[in-house]
Amino acid sequence: MPGAKKQIESENRVVENGQALTLPFASPLHAISGFERVSKRKIFDKGAVLFAEGHAARDVYVVCSGRLKLSMTSAEGRKLIVRIARPGDLLGIHAALTGQSYEATAETLSSCRIDIISREDLLGLLERQKTFGLTVAVALSRDFTDFLEHARGLLMSISAPEKLARLLLNLADQFGRRTTDGISFKTLLTHEEIAQMIGASRETVTRSLNVLKRKRVIRPEEGEILILNRVELAAVASRVP
């Protein structure tokens, strides 16, 4: 589907110094000789589950294009989205390397192109090419840093509007593109999913978004959010009552 391919490729962007940049897909595993021979590439439609929390980690997934959400469920059954995965990310690698179960559930937010390698094949490649161990360690460190940043935003933010503002700024930095009116990005998230990312109710998210809209800080568009006033949004993100 040409339209789907265009959508996937349009999301491989970040904003740097206010400019939208298209970045080539890159993964540390692709640099290992023999990876492409033992891995397989697959297209997943939106809403597909790659792996589920608590299941045995048999494979490692490399995001080549598209976006996914990683979620965890509390003992009370409450779901929390802990991370949005993007091209270049390695999913399930910590569980696979340690022999543990998957720590989270990975579900696609858009059509995704994924490279899959079994735990056994990955361990075999790393055993034969030990120099890539540090590269994989760096990738694991990046995953942990992303998780800590999200946790810090939840724990240090005082109010739901503050958490929401921080999330919008983060999504804009990762996926935004500069327009004449501001920075626009596809959220690919429902209000319920946004609520699961900031630990709030869906009603609170909808109300907070409407407040930002009335103040002309953001302008929700079809499938996208346009940040009209980044300075004011940043002020909301750091506001202390």
Per residue in 71-108, pLDDT tens? 998 777 888 898 899 998 899 988 888 888 998 999 99
pLDDT of residue 10: 38
pLDDT of residue 6: 38
Share of the chain above pLDDT 70, in %: 76
pLDDT of residue 19: 43
pLDDT of residue 5: 39
**Residue 14's pLDDT band (boundaries 50, 70, 90)?**
very low
Backbone angles phi and psi of 126, in degrees to 5: -70, -30
The tokens describing 162, both together, are 């503050």
Model confidence at 211: pLDDT above 70: yes
Identical fold at 2-155 and 158-237?
no
Q: What is the chain's mean pLDDT, rounded?
A: 82
**Residue 25's pLDDT band (boundaries 50, 70, 90)?**
low
Fill in the DSSP letter of residue 226.
E
Looking at the domain that runs over 158-237, which CATH code has it been given? 1.10.10.10
Sequence-ordered list of residues with C-beta below 8 angstroms from that of 27, at least 6 positions apart, any chain? 62, 63, 64, 88, 90, 115
Model confidence at 48: pLDDT above 90: yes
The tokens describing 203, both together, are 């009603």
Fold of 2-155: Jelly Rolls (2.60.120)
Answer whether 0.75 is exceeded by the pTM: yes
- pLDDT mean over 7-21: 40
pLDDT of residue 8: 35
- Which of these, 21, 105, 131, 110, lies nearest to 64 by C-alpha position? 110
Model confidence at 35: pLDDT above 60: yes
**Residue 13's pLDDT band (boundaries 50, 70, 90)?**
very low
**b/e burial code for range 4-29 (CB count within 10 A of at least 16 → b):** eeebbeebbbbbeeeebeeeebebbb
pLDDT of residue 1: 41
3-state DSSP call for residue 125? helix
Q: Which of 75-84, 147-156, 174-183, 202-211 has the lowest mean pLDDT?
A: 147-156
pLDDT of residue 109: 96
Q: Which of 24-38, 90-104, 166-180 has the lowest mean pLDDT?
A: 24-38
- Output the CA–CA distances (angstroms, integers) from residue 93 to 29, 136, 176, 235, in the order listed: 11, 9, 27, 37
Sequence-ordered list of residues with C-beta below 8 angstroms from that of 100, at least 6 positions apart, any chain? 57, 94
Where are the chain's structural domains? 2-155, 158-237
Sequence-ordered list of residues with C-beta below 8 angstroms from that of 168, at least 6 positions apart, any chain? 218, 225, 227, 233
pLDDT tens profile 104-152:
999 999 999 999 999 999 888 888 776 665 566 556 656 655 665 655 5
